[in-house]
A = this chain, B = another copy of it.
């Protein structure tokens, strides 16, 4: 499989209720740079992704490109908390396993939905 095929398999699996098969595509030593910080290892990435995958209502692939070693995908997601939460992921892939992830998404609607932040009180 090319890097892009691996990435698209990973996305298809965790967005379609087959999360365990998705996580199997993660290298045990995968490093994920996320807006919240660096996640080291498959267990840390799964702990980050699994609750989100479990709450997913729908998803849509918006763009996907890659070469032999890397893939860059953009997709939209819908959950009960946030109706549209697009994300981009840059994957490094070695031997059919994802060894590096750089994920970008907007934390603001999630932080507001959880109540981690609140709009500034009006003076």
Contacts and interface: CB of A to CB of B under 8 A. Distances in A.
Interface string A79-116: 00000001110100000000000101111100110011
Contact of A88 (B67, B74, B108, B119): B74
Residue from A73, A102, A121 with most neighbouring chain B CB atoms (10 Å): A102
A73 B35 CA distance: 17
Nearest to A121: B118
B104 A88 contact: yes
Residue from A35, A104, A106, A115 with most neighbouring chain B CB atoms (10 Å): A104
Nearest to A107: B108
A72 interface: yes
A107 B105 contact: no
